[in-house]
Amino acid sequence: MSLSSVLIANRGEIALRVVRACRELGIRSVAVYSDADAQAAHVRMADDAVHVGKSSASKSYLNEDAILEAARASGVDAVHPGYGFLSERPSFAAAVEEAGLTFVGPPSSVIATMGDKASARALARRAGVPVVPGSDEVASVEDALAAAEEVGYPVLVKASAGGGGRGIRPAASADELRTVVAEAQREAASAFGSDKVYLERALQGPKHVEVQVLADTHGGVVHCFERECSLQRRRQKILEEAPAPGLDPSVRASLCAAAVDLAREVGYVGAGTVEFLVEGSGDEGEFFFIEMNTRIQVEHPITEAVTGLDLVAEQLRVAGGAPLSVTQDDVVCRGASIEFRVNAEDPDQDFLPSPGEVTRLELPGGPGVRVDTALMAGDVVPPFYDSLVAKLAVWAPTREQALARGRRALAEYRVEGLPTTIGLHRRLLDHPAVVDGTYDITTLETWLAG
């Protein structure tokens, strides 16, 4: 019962990525689009396209009813949510299931469990996966102060229903914590509709390392090794690489095994990412589970580059009921890959979002270069959606060669008409900690501030 047609509930480069996988598998692809995207690349390339609303995301790509109606009207048998938008909303996955369609992702109950930080942590503990030292949900300032004595300062106060780095506040002492907890509860109530917060130890200079997993409906679960994603600004990743440089082989093995254990424990299906913080280096490195992203990840191409797998094709096969095309022994990590996120932002103006029209475009090419882009010459980048407009990923047999290839490809990449982060990446590749792979989650912001 493999899928015959799929509605892609997304836009931009990830919608194109899914269109491409569908075409290679002989699946009809149906795009959706807002007013602003009527001429967009994902609409041009899909087999069919359905208009779902006005330009603002809440009236189009985030409108569950409109997307479901488009799925019914176009007669598809599955919905691929991409990343962002509705991809991690349990209510949407449940509505797709209830409509008798296949959601390309895990069951809605799994999205709900992993989307709630407290239940995700509880599940990790059950699976024997280490979590960052932290507390249960705290109801009052007094509870928080008592919990912080156990957890140890400095702590982070986090909203249970938060995500994407939102709803997180640091406190270095009991005095700070008193103020911060009350603020965090108020903020969480208004931003996320729930005032539940909990505490977590603030790790010192950790690295963000995540593990790609794939699972099918026949009990097959594999990991596809790790990605190093520490180069972040305001908790948004900008450059990722695989494998993680400097990660001790024994730590890598434990990390990947922990991700598989977690995926099994929750009954995972499809492609997912288990995120960890790694503190310390060498075989002294300790890792802690932070969260699971129950969807395809922006940075999936670097895993595809080092493993040779097609992760989106695996998602579609699994959604059609087929077993994974590989066993764990088939998944081998070869060479090194780096991804550079091209955002329509101006790094010289504090990353001000910069929508506009692309007047001229030259894409890099040649050996080991992959560009996933929704940005083509003459296209307009609308102001309504995420600023990510393209991803450049390079692969080479060694990390040193991958860095050289990245420099070469970035030098070839030209976008005129609006500012992007391409120039920032060129400079970033000269940063000593990037060159030697010792950077951590504080490196990028420290460098930008200096």
Partner 1 sequence: MGSHTITSRTPGVFYHRPSPDAEPYVTEGASVAEGDTVGLVEVMKTFHEVKADAAGTVAKFLVENEDEVTIGQDLVELET
Q: Which residues bind partner 1 (CB under 8 A)?
A: 54-56, 190-191, 344-345, 352-353, 355, 383-387
* Cβ-based nearer residue to partner 1, 259 or 381: 381
Smallest gap from Cβ 7 to partner 1, in A, equals 23
Smallest gap from Cβ 62 to partner 1, in A, equals 11
Q: CB–CB of 77/99 below 8 Å? A: no
Residue 279 to residue 259: CA distance in whole angstroms: 17
Residue 270 backbone dihedrals phi, psi, to 5 degrees:
100, -155
- 227 catalytic? Reply is no
Rounded (to 5) percent helix, strand, coil in the chain:
40, 30, 35
Smallest gap from Cβ 295 to partner 1, in A, equals 17
* Cβ-based nearer residue to partner 1, 191 or 411: 191
What residues are paired with 237 via a beta bridge?
232
Q: CB–CB of 117/199 below 8 Å? A: no
Considering 295, 317, 370, 399, which one is annotated as catalytic?
Answer: 295
Residue 32 to residue 73: CA distance in whole angstroms: 12
Quote the Cα angle for 362-363-365, to 5°: 135
* Cβ-based nearer residue to partner 1, 36 or 215: 36
* Cβ-based nearer residue to partner 1, 130 or 163: 163
Smallest gap from Cβ 390 to partner 1, in A, equals 14
> Measuring CA to CA, which residue among 124, 331, 92, 320 is closest to residue 217?
320
Residue 275 to residue 255: CA distance in whole angstroms: 10
* Cβ-based nearer residue to partner 1, 9 or 36: 36
Query: Helix 300-307 and helix 311-319: axis angle, to 10°?
Result: 100
In whole angstroms, how far apart are CA 54 and each of 72, 80, 227, 325, 384? 20, 21, 36, 40, 10
Smallest gap from Cβ 191 to partner 1, in A, equals 8
Smallest gap from Cβ 353 to partner 1, in A, equals 4
Backbone Cα Rg of the chain:
21
* Cβ-based nearer residue to partner 1, 154 or 383: 383
Residue 73 to residue 90: CA distance in whole angstroms: 22
User: Catalytic positions, please?
Assistant: 295
